[in-house]
A and B are shown apart, each in its own frame.
Chain A
């Protein structure tokens, strides 16, 4: 093994430039994996922390099952199915183990600074999700001020989350305006609570898929929220606290069937349920999928780069390998030599790639601190996945060159090696290649777009056909280029045309490897673009969940909001007018896709008479949290 290691290292060092280029390319692939997967890891960690804190002083949250999953395939939950029945509160309060059962109403409603000029310069985004509650204590620890006085009926007070207050530049004592138009209510911020938050677009989307006090950026009394929204209060979820000594597990066991039997079936959420829901949310799945795709693409990149380098190396070193076979190495050891060389290249790429990935993350954190919650942390999973890409790619890439090295005979060292004679164009190969290439565009015309299954079919069948087709056509293209361009290029370079021809045509295997790499890479790029563009066309800001109001400046809101809402097909503001809602999803689902296709005008309204501004205003219309328009 010492011989193999020393020889492999000597071979790797033989061409420093080649080593650098191969390592850089492999490193870039590994760094890409580190970057994407660490982003996913960071998101999961954020979810973990968020889930542990999201319930605040409660042990459990009770919310309708329909909020978390569809009632039945293709069925949109009715408004009543999105609220917890009032009976549930009384039932829970009657249980001796229950310390507190606080109903909470989460609503998306416009929140604005009462005096914009007073906070000029420190004004930021205000939370769009307001939680109306009758609780006599803050759901989270108070970091400043006090909790709302609930005993005094309609008290115009509110408590902001610390993160929202800092983002919006609001302090205790500042006044805000809740709602819009004639219904708007002024309130004073009397306290700040340290509720958990998750940053980033995908995290915000995921957050909206759980029902806890943490969904709210602003807490007010239920009565105030009724006044500001013009709606009767509803119960989005109930925060349940248990008495000291009460056992959570039997409590859940006892109550689960009773909650399921309510008029609107409900269920409990504990920290681990929340974390699971977040982890399984579409946004997290999306990022995970992206991570796997990045890993696959990186592995392919590492594979082709190392394959090309090793193949070149074996071709150049036939005589050396023959000598080694004659004086020292067995066939297996010759193959091992190539494999170890590949692993060395992979190792250099891996080390450099991981370091680059980490530095990249550090740079990203330095420039955008909110991008990664826990700073530049490279998780063990991302390291493992990057290792799989670098070393797996290297191992796969070494298979063919190792086989070639094994086939070298000791006698090859003795005589002069014959140059491989270039082969001419093979019409059968060319025809078959063109036929296979045509499969991909034909599939694009025949198969439906966008859903996951066709995407996989595109990927597996379409790309495979494309790759094999390009490989089969490559010799013909090389010869055509040879014949048409070589004389011209030779003339420019002032070298004998035959020399150039032999250089191009004699390395067909290298040409083929490059062709495969290019076709797979381009195919993937096109596939991902088509897939991504199709989905992007379907997503509207309303689908982004609770955060959508946050992104709209309050001074643009006004009386037109209600008119805007009326312009939207299928949308009717008000408590009983929320039909057509569906859980927010960032990714396609066959039934949802069918629903989207089957709802005429829903996509067209963006370009309808209401115009772009109207579309923006639409997002500010009061929508119960958890309900989204498609």
Chain B
């Protein structure tokens, strides 16, 4: 097994600096992280801790000032803008907090979006709709779907190209707690049944508890990480998170 298939995500010495006027903000500070194949990693941290920036860096949505981002064995810095887009389309599935569906397309068309040029697009989309329980909602536009359904459509879109990695940015942030838990179950199933590598950003312990490993972020640094046992509840995760923060302090 090659290193790239063992570790779909490898981050080495990542530094990201934002400039606001004369002020420089260090969003990521020498971050190293490796995600194993088929692993479900939750990145936890408070607002402004740099967790979303980290996710954007993995997706190639933002350039880093220093360090290397290697996804599916490819150094993202070596890509041109167009090549990076093509790479992202094939290898990275993304799920956003605000669903970010195209309002003028139906649920099925939204799912098909990254793969519309493929000849088997319809078959693929149908299988995903079936898997996510959305077959009866396939012809509805996003405004006719509930929040949970919209996020499932977004997950379907992320899975359409059979990506090496799925990135989820606060996927339950716009959902009520029950729907949020249902959605976490969907993500968990993807990892357990299909071995889909998933990196999720969240600040909620009850969402992070579905992961295999939690990485704690603060002030752009990776403070620590802890494994999550299969039956660990939200409280256990919350305690471990608090402990990680206090240890660093």
Contact = CB atoms under 8 A, between A and B. Distances in A.
Contact of B116 (A3, A331, A414): A3
Interface in B41-87: 52, 56, 59, 61-62, 81-82, 85-86
A325 B100 contact: no
A31 B102 CA distance: 35
A14 B104 CA distance: 6
Nearest to A331: B81
B96 interface: yes
Contacts of A326: 59, 61, 88, 94, 100
B105 interface: yes
Contacts of A6: 105, 109, 116
Contacts of A14: 103-104
B104 A11 contact: yes
Given A6-B109, A327-B157, A331-B81, A13 B104 contact: yes
Interface centre among A328, A330, A410 (most CB of B within 10 A): A328
B85 A325 contact: yes
Closest 7 CB pairs of A and B: A10-B104, A3-B116, A330-B82, A330-B85, A14-B104, A323-B100, A410-B61
A183 interface: no
A421 to B, nearest CB: 15
Given A10-B102, A414-B96, A327 B113 contact: yes
Interface in A314-358: 319-320, 323-332
Given A10-B102, A326-B61, A414-B169, A3 B85 contact: no
A411 interface: yes
B59 A10 contact: no
B176 interface: no
B100 to A, nearest CB: 5
Contact of B102 (A2, A7, A409, A414): A7
B138 interface: no
Given A6-B116, A330-B85, A411-B56, A319 B100 contact: yes
A409 B84 CA distance: 13
Interface residues of B, number: 27
B117 A3 contact: yes
A329 B105 contact: no
A111 B157 CA distance: 85
A325 B102 CA distance: 12
Contacts of A80: none
B89 A327 contact: yes
Contact of A320 (B89, B103, B116, B157): B103
Given A2-B117, A6-B105, 7 more contacts: A6-B109, A10-B104, A320-B102, A324-B102, A327-B158, A410-B61, A411-B62
B205 interface: no
B114 interface: yes
A92 interface: no
Nearest to B83: A330
A3 B105 CA distance: 11
Contacts of A413: 96, 100
Contacts of A1: 117
Interface centre among B94, B102, B105 (most CB of A within 10 A): B102
B109 A411 contact: no
A330 B101 CA distance: 18
A10 B88 contact: no
Interface in B97-146: 100-105, 109, 113-114, 116-117
13 contacts: A14-B103, A324-B113, A325-B85, A326-B59, A326-B88, A326-B94, A327-B89, A327-B113, A411-B62, A413-B100, A414-B56, A414-B61, A414-B96
Contacts of B52: 414
A323 B101 CA distance: 8
Interface string B148-162: 000000000110000
B131 to A, nearest CB: 19
Contacts of B102: 7, 10, 320, 323-324
Contacts of A319: 100
A17 to B, nearest CB: 15
A453 B205 CA distance: 79
Nearest to A1: B117
Contacts of B94: 326-327
A409 B62 CA distance: 9
Interface centre among A6, A320, A323 (most CB of B within 10 A): A323
Contact of A2 (B59, B116, B169): B116
B117 to A, nearest CB: 6
Contacts of B101: 323
A319 B88 CA distance: 18
Nearest to A3: B116
B62 to A, nearest CB: 6
Contacts of A11: 104
Nearest to B97: A414
A203 B158 CA distance: 68
Contacts of A323: 96, 100-102
A560 to B, nearest CB: 76
Interface in A112-154: none
Contacts of A411: 56, 61-62
Nearest to B99: A323
A410 B84 CA distance: 12
A409 B85 CA distance: 11
Nearest to A412: B61
Interface in B167-198: 169
A13 B103 CA distance: 11
A331 B101 CA distance: 19
Contacts of B157: 327
A481 B96 CA distance: 42
A11 B88 CA distance: 24
B117 A331 contact: no
Contacts of B86: 330
Nearest to B158: A327
Contacts of B85: 325, 328-331
Interface in A381-432: 409-411, 413-414
A574 to B, nearest CB: 80
Given A327-B114, A414-B169, A332 B82 contact: yes
B100 A330 contact: no
Interface in B16-57: 52, 56
A11 B104 CA distance: 6
Given A10-B105, A411-B56, A3 B88 contact: no
A1 B113 CA distance: 12
